[in-house]
Structure 1
Protein backbone atom coordinates (compact mmCIF):
# COMPACT_ATOMS: atom_id res chain seq x y z
CA UNK A 1 0.00 0.00 0.00
CA UNK A 2 2.74 2.48 0.93
CA UNK A 3 4.67 1.49 -2.20
CA UNK A 4 1.68 2.32 -4.38
CA UNK A 5 1.29 5.75 -2.77
CA UNK A 6 4.98 6.52 -3.25
CA UNK A 7 4.83 5.41 -6.89
CA UNK A 8 1.79 7.64 -7.51
CA UNK A 9 3.56 10.58 -5.89
CA UNK A 10 6.60 10.04 -8.10
CA UNK A 11 4.49 9.83 -11.28
CA UNK A 12 2.41 12.89 -10.41
CA UNK A 13 5.47 14.85 -9.27
CA UNK A 14 7.42 14.11 -12.43
CA UNK A 15 4.44 15.17 -14.56
CA UNK A 16 4.26 18.46 -12.71
CA UNK A 17 7.99 19.02 -13.18
CA UNK A 18 7.80 18.32 -16.92
CA UNK A 19 4.87 20.71 -17.39
CA UNK A 20 6.62 23.39 -15.33
CA UNK A 21 9.80 23.04 -17.37
CA UNK A 22 7.88 23.27 -20.65
CA UNK A 23 6.02 26.36 -19.45
CA UNK A 24 9.26 28.00 -18.27
CA UNK A 25 10.89 27.28 -21.65
CA UNK A 26 7.97 28.85 -23.54
CA UNK A 27 8.10 31.88 -21.27
CA UNK A 28 11.85 32.23 -21.79
CA UNK A 29 11.35 32.18 -25.56
CA UNK A 30 8.66 34.85 -25.30
CA UNK A 31 10.87 37.04 -23.13
CA UNK A 32 13.79 36.61 -25.50
CA UNK A 33 11.71 37.65 -28.50
CA UNK A 34 10.36 40.71 -26.64
CA UNK A 35 13.85 41.84 -25.65
CA UNK A 36 15.36 41.31 -29.09
CA UNK A 37 17.70 38.59 -27.89
CA UNK A 38 16.51 36.23 -30.62
CA UNK A 39 17.20 38.81 -33.33
CA UNK A 40 20.63 39.48 -31.86
CA UNK A 41 21.43 35.76 -31.88
CA UNK A 42 20.40 35.49 -35.53
CA UNK A 43 22.56 38.48 -36.44
CA UNK A 44 25.54 36.95 -34.63
CA UNK A 45 25.04 33.69 -36.52
CA UNK A 46 25.09 35.59 -39.80
CA UNK A 47 28.46 37.08 -38.86
CA UNK A 48 29.87 33.65 -38.05
CA UNK A 49 28.90 32.26 -41.43
CA UNK A 50 30.76 34.88 -43.47
CA UNK A 51 33.53 33.76 -45.79
CA UNK A 52 37.12 34.79 -45.34
CA UNK A 53 38.52 37.78 -47.17
CA UNK A 54 41.04 37.47 -49.95
CA UNK A 55 43.74 39.25 -47.92
CA UNK A 56 43.18 36.84 -45.01
CA UNK A 57 43.43 33.89 -47.39
CA UNK A 58 46.70 35.22 -48.78
CA UNK A 59 48.08 35.64 -45.25
CA UNK A 60 47.13 32.07 -44.32
CA UNK A 61 48.81 30.62 -47.39
CA UNK A 62 51.72 33.08 -47.25
CA UNK A 63 51.42 34.28 -50.84
CA UNK A 64 51.61 37.80 -52.24
CA UNK A 65 48.92 39.57 -54.23
CA UNK A 66 50.70 38.95 -57.52
CA UNK A 67 51.28 35.22 -56.87
CA UNK A 68 50.38 32.87 -59.70
CA UNK A 69 47.78 30.15 -59.29
CA UNK A 70 50.54 27.52 -59.51
CA UNK A 71 52.40 29.18 -56.62
CA UNK A 72 49.18 29.28 -54.58
CA UNK A 73 48.55 25.58 -55.24
CA UNK A 74 52.13 24.71 -54.33
CA UNK A 75 51.85 26.53 -50.97
CA UNK A 76 48.41 24.99 -50.39
CA UNK A 77 49.65 21.45 -51.03
CA UNK A 78 52.63 21.95 -48.75
CA UNK A 79 50.62 23.44 -45.85
CA UNK A 80 47.74 20.99 -46.23
CA UNK A 81 50.04 17.95 -46.14
CA UNK A 82 52.07 19.30 -43.21
CA UNK A 83 48.91 19.87 -41.19
CA UNK A 84 47.56 16.46 -42.16
CA UNK A 85 50.65 14.79 -40.71
CA UNK A 86 51.65 16.94 -37.74
CA UNK A 87 49.16 19.78 -37.41
CA UNK A 88 45.57 20.22 -36.43
CA UNK A 89 42.34 19.70 -38.33
CA UNK A 90 41.43 23.33 -37.62
CA UNK A 91 44.56 24.65 -39.34
CA UNK A 92 44.07 22.22 -42.18
CA UNK A 93 40.52 23.48 -42.71
CA UNK A 94 41.70 27.11 -42.63
CA UNK A 95 44.25 26.30 -45.34
CA UNK A 96 41.55 24.60 -47.40
CA UNK A 97 39.15 27.55 -47.02
CA UNK A 98 41.94 29.96 -47.99
CA UNK A 99 42.54 28.02 -51.19
CA UNK A 100 38.81 28.03 -51.94
CA UNK A 101 38.65 31.78 -51.42
CA UNK A 102 41.60 32.46 -53.70
CA UNK A 103 40.26 30.02 -56.27
CA UNK A 104 37.01 31.95 -56.49
CA UNK A 105 38.96 35.24 -56.70
CA UNK A 106 41.08 33.86 -59.55
CA UNK A 107 37.96 32.71 -61.39
CA UNK A 108 36.41 36.19 -61.03
CA UNK A 109 39.57 37.81 -62.37
CA UNK A 110 39.74 35.34 -65.25
CA UNK A 111 36.21 36.08 -66.46
Structure 2
Protein backbone atom coordinates (compact mmCIF):
# COMPACT_ATOMS: atom_id res chain seq x y z
CA UNK A 1 0.00 0.00 0.00
CA UNK A 2 2.76 2.44 0.92
CA UNK A 3 4.63 1.66 -2.29
CA UNK A 4 1.50 2.43 -4.32
CA UNK A 5 1.11 5.80 -2.60
CA UNK A 6 4.80 6.54 -3.09
CA UNK A 7 4.57 5.62 -6.78
CA UNK A 8 1.53 7.89 -7.21
CA UNK A 9 3.36 10.75 -5.51
CA UNK A 10 6.37 10.29 -7.77
CA UNK A 11 4.21 10.21 -10.91
CA UNK A 12 2.21 13.26 -9.81
CA UNK A 13 5.36 15.13 -8.83
CA UNK A 14 6.98 14.31 -12.15
CA UNK A 15 3.93 15.55 -14.04
CA UNK A 16 3.83 18.78 -12.07
CA UNK A 17 7.53 19.32 -12.60
CA UNK A 18 7.24 18.66 -16.34
CA UNK A 19 4.33 21.12 -16.70
CA UNK A 20 6.23 23.75 -14.74
CA UNK A 21 9.29 23.26 -16.94
CA UNK A 22 7.24 23.59 -20.14
CA UNK A 23 5.52 26.70 -18.83
CA UNK A 24 8.85 28.26 -17.84
CA UNK A 25 10.31 27.43 -21.24
CA UNK A 26 7.36 29.02 -23.02
CA UNK A 27 7.69 32.13 -20.89
CA UNK A 28 11.42 32.30 -21.61
CA UNK A 29 10.72 32.04 -25.34
CA UNK A 30 8.10 34.78 -25.10
CA UNK A 31 10.52 37.03 -23.22
CA UNK A 32 13.31 36.29 -25.65
CA UNK A 33 11.17 37.00 -28.69
CA UNK A 34 10.34 40.42 -27.28
CA UNK A 35 14.03 41.31 -27.16
CA UNK A 36 15.08 39.53 -30.36
CA UNK A 37 17.32 37.09 -28.50
CA UNK A 38 15.37 34.07 -29.78
CA UNK A 39 15.98 34.88 -33.43
CA UNK A 40 19.66 35.58 -32.80
CA UNK A 41 20.01 32.27 -30.94
CA UNK A 42 18.24 30.43 -33.74
CA UNK A 43 20.48 32.05 -36.35
CA UNK A 44 23.60 31.13 -34.36
CA UNK A 45 22.41 27.54 -34.02
CA UNK A 46 21.77 27.23 -37.75
CA UNK A 47 25.12 28.84 -38.53
CA UNK A 48 26.96 26.42 -36.23
CA UNK A 49 25.10 23.39 -37.55
CA UNK A 50 25.80 24.23 -41.17
CA UNK A 51 29.44 25.18 -40.62
CA UNK A 52 31.64 22.95 -42.73
CA UNK A 53 35.34 22.66 -42.07
CA UNK A 54 37.37 24.52 -44.65
CA UNK A 55 40.43 23.04 -46.30
CA UNK A 56 42.59 25.70 -44.65
CA UNK A 57 41.23 24.84 -41.19
CA UNK A 58 41.79 21.14 -41.86
CA UNK A 59 45.41 21.82 -42.86
CA UNK A 60 45.95 23.85 -39.68
CA UNK A 61 44.55 21.08 -37.51
CA UNK A 62 46.80 18.46 -39.07
CA UNK A 63 49.77 20.81 -39.40
CA UNK A 64 50.26 20.31 -43.14
CA UNK A 65 50.58 22.56 -46.18
CA UNK A 66 49.13 22.40 -49.67
CA UNK A 67 52.34 20.77 -50.92
CA UNK A 68 52.21 17.95 -48.36
CA UNK A 69 51.86 14.51 -49.90
CA UNK A 70 48.82 12.44 -49.01
CA UNK A 71 50.96 9.78 -47.33
CA UNK A 72 52.43 12.44 -45.01
CA UNK A 73 48.92 13.70 -44.18
CA UNK A 74 47.91 10.15 -43.25
CA UNK A 75 50.98 9.82 -41.00
CA UNK A 76 50.14 13.11 -39.23
CA UNK A 77 46.52 12.01 -38.90
CA UNK A 78 47.48 8.64 -37.40
CA UNK A 79 49.82 10.24 -34.87
CA UNK A 80 47.32 12.89 -33.75
CA UNK A 81 44.38 10.49 -33.70
CA UNK A 82 46.25 7.91 -31.60
CA UNK A 83 47.58 10.52 -29.16
CA UNK A 84 44.05 11.75 -28.49
CA UNK A 85 42.65 8.22 -28.34
CA UNK A 86 44.98 7.31 -25.47
CA UNK A 87 44.95 10.33 -23.20
CA UNK A 88 43.50 13.23 -25.09
CA UNK A 89 40.20 14.81 -25.89
CA UNK A 90 37.40 13.17 -27.86
CA UNK A 91 36.57 16.63 -29.24
CA UNK A 92 40.11 17.08 -30.61
CA UNK A 93 40.11 13.53 -31.89
CA UNK A 94 36.89 14.19 -33.81
CA UNK A 95 38.33 17.44 -35.20
CA UNK A 96 41.39 15.50 -36.43
CA UNK A 97 39.12 12.93 -38.07
CA UNK A 98 36.99 15.64 -39.74
CA UNK A 99 40.15 17.36 -40.97
CA UNK A 100 41.32 14.14 -42.61
CA UNK A 101 37.90 13.66 -44.23
CA UNK A 102 37.93 17.24 -45.51
CA UNK A 103 41.40 16.89 -47.02
CA UNK A 104 40.55 13.49 -48.43
CA UNK A 105 37.65 14.94 -50.38
CA UNK A 106 39.81 17.89 -51.45
CA UNK A 107 42.52 15.55 -52.75
CA UNK A 108 39.96 13.41 -54.57
CA UNK A 109 38.49 16.54 -56.11
CA UNK A 110 41.91 17.46 -57.46
CA UNK A 111 42.29 14.04 -59.03
CA UNK A 112 45.08 12.93 -56.71
CA UNK A 113 45.06 9.42 -55.32
CA UNK A 114 44.06 8.92 -51.70
CA UNK A 115 44.93 5.44 -50.55
CA UNK A 116 42.90 4.54 -47.48
Aligned-pair CA distance for 1:76: 0.6
Answer with 20-29 or 63-72: which moved more: 20-29
What pairs with 1:20-39 in structure 2 (closer than 5 Å)? 25-39=25-39
Aligned-pair CA distance for 1:29: 2.1
TM-score by length of 2: 0.66
- Which residue is 2:77 aligned to? 76
- Which residue is 1:3 aligned to? none
Larger radius of gyration: 1
TM-score by length of 1: 0.68
- Give the superposed CA RMSD: 2.8
Query: In structure 2, how many angstroms separate the alpha carbons of the residues matched to 1:106 and 1:97?
Result: 14
Aligned-pair CA distance for 1:19: 7.3
Structure 2 vs 1, CA of residues 58 and 25 (structure 1 numbering), >3 Å: closer, same or farther?
closer
Runs of 5+ unmatched residues, structure 2:
1-16
Structure 2 vs 1, CA of residues 102 and 19 (structure 1 numbering), >3 Å: closer, same or farther?
closer
Runs of 5+ unmatched residues, structure 1:
1-16
- Which residue is 2:55 aligned to? 54
- Which residue is 2:105 aligned to? 104
